[in-house]
Amino acid sequence: MASVMATTDMEKIVSQARAGFNAGKTRTKEARRRNLEAMIRLIDDHRADMAAASFKDLHKPQLETYMGEVEMAKSEAMVFLTKLDEIVEPTNAGDGSLVLIGKKAFINRDPYGVCLIMGAWNYPVQLVLVPLIGAIAAGNAVVIKPSELSPAVAELFEVIIPQYLDPECFPVVNGGPDVAQALLKQRFDHILYTGGCNVAKIVMRAAAEHLTPVTLELGGKCPAYVDARADPAITAKRIVWGKFMNAGQTCIAPDYVMCDTQVKDKLIEELKKTLRNFYGEDIKRSADYGRIVTERHFDRVVDLLKKQEKNVVFGGAYDRDDKYIEPTILDNITFKDPVMCEEIFGPLLPVVPVRNADEAIHFINSGEKPLSLYIFSSSRKLQDRFRTETSSGSFLVNDTMIQAGVKALPFGGVGSSGMGCYHGKFSIDTFSHQKACLVDPSPRQSEMTMGIRYPPYSSTKEAIACFLMRKPSPNELWVLKLIKYAIVFAIIAYGFRKLRGLKATRWISIWFTMGLQQLQNSLKALGLDTIFRG
């Protein structure tokens, strides 16, 4: 068992992490590079240990741990290392407005400070390391809370992470709900939680006490829809792989399948054949099939199975001592059956016959928004209908689950399936404050144009101010570029001429009035005078 820290230690732990952040131990580019390189070494040195711990907690096959957890984390760290200069450097935010002449507008990504990452038990390696690496790349200190329901992985992290990262800036806190509640009483600058809706509400309430922003990665009933034009053999392979990996304990796994009545029987036969091909005739003996995490979760899934016993057409066996539930297909399920009233999060696959896509879309939209939605069809029109007429955290066509491994895509939910997202550049956005910055390096020169904002006001100043502030349309940009260069030239010329008889703002006002009138006349002759309207 992972050791349990005293709840009275939480304030000290968070204070030390904040002191480390304030001392610059995590926010400089050099610190981020050093910590990312340390994470890569940690992963390389302990990949076998992480696989062994995952097997102990979940009977998870080594390949699934490497592919779905370890390599995802390492790849994330390597991408951030190669893009670290881009992450740290400000982003130009100039929009071409005349008001920005001589000024520099940019966005600075400030690390939030001290973040809390609360991992989940179903992917205990990935759901700690991937957000941790993103928070490191963004320059934060992080308090790490692995799930107590995957104790082997939690204990491993408590031992190995302090060997590679500063334990004051990146403490690992193990323990149960009492420890989590004590942690949540502390002030954090961002919280990322992965898990269920009930605990997510507790996290949000605690965060609200300190006005702390949160990212919630939750779950829900992820639908799959199969129409008559889908390839039944390939569809079955991809549904079985996505559904029964990790014994169905994946937040983005297809929870149930809706299919056209004309393709249902063929699809079920392909699902059965695929299960035998993947796991053999005696699935319990397969080294490639996982187990349910705890007896409590086992009992919940078996209770659902017992309520639908009459619908079992494949599987249905279970062994509580081994926490084993056989991959099970349930046929002729209706939308009102018990198995359709809650997230299954286990190896039961309900197959729901529907008349058409309209019925499927209506059912999806009548419930909570899912974390993922899977469509199997060769019809582009049908694919577009589901994409545009439904709402979900992610949307896949003719595949399942692989979106989580694409770093260019955000990973996150919507509504009850979560809020916020991370992975790749989206992790940097999640763990950073986008600070608006504007620098005027030459205030004396810019005062010549910006002086019009000061009282006393006049109609001339009003006209110039409106012209400077309005956002040009794409067709007007080329003209405004010419005006911008003309203004810069006029300001430079003015500086050289050193006129003494007129105040700067008055001279510029006269120049603008005469120049704009002349330009307007010229553009009117060309039929382009709409630049001065709206």
Question: What sign results for the dihedral spanned by CA atoms 382, 384, 386, 388?
Answer: negative
Checking DSSP bridges between strand 324-325 and strand 318-319, what pairing results, if any? Answer: antiparallel
Strand order, beta sheet including 114-118: 141-145, 114-118, 190-194, 214-217, 418-419
Catalytic residue among 115, 169, 251, 259: 251
List, in sequence order, every residue forming a beta bridge with 372; answer none if it has no partner.
Answer: 394
DSSP output for 270-319: HHHHHHHHHH-S-GGG-TT----S-HHHHHHHHHHHHHTGGGEEE---EE
Region for 377 from its dihedrals, namely left if φ exceeds 0, alpha if ψ lies in -120 to 50, beta otherwise: beta
- Using CA atoms, how far residue 254 sits from 15, 60, 351, 400, in Å, is 42, 19, 11, 7
In terms of Cα–Cα distance, which of 12, 380, 359 is closest to 186? 12
SS (H, E, C) 440-461: CCCHHHHHHHHHHHCCCCCHHH
User: What single-letter DSSP state applies at residue 121?
Assistant: S
> Closest by alpha carbon to 412, among 222, 217, 124?
217
Other beta carbons within 10 angstroms of residue 7's beta carbon come to: 16
Q: Within 376-503, where are the H helices?
A: 380-389, 425-430, 443-450, 459-469, 477-497
Q: How far apart are the first and last CA of the chain?
A: 69
Residue pointed to by tokens 């001429």: 497
Is 251 catalytic? The answer is yes
Distance CA 409, CA 403 (A): 7
CA angle 274, 276, 282 (to 5 degrees): 155
Best CA proximity match to 166, nearest among 192, 143, 134: 143
Buried b vs exposed e over 401-435: b needs ≥16 C-beta within 10 Å?
Answer: bebbeebeebbbbbbbbbbbbbbbbbbbbbbbbee
Rounded Cα–Cα distance for residues 527 and 254 (Å)? 58
- Which residues are CB-contacts of 113 (< 8 A; sequence separation ≥ 6)? 18, 21, 140, 141, 188, 189, 190
Q: Is 115 a catalytic residue?
A: no
Whole-angstrom CA distances from 280 to 276, 288, 327, 432 are 5, 10, 12, 48
**Catalytic-labelled residue, pool 217, 270, 326, 343:** 217
Q: How far is CA 58 from CA 147, 175, 187, 237, 321, in A?
A: 13, 19, 33, 23, 14
Residue type, 448: M
Quote the CA–CA distance of 290 and 49 in Å, as a whole number. 18
List active site positions: 217, 251
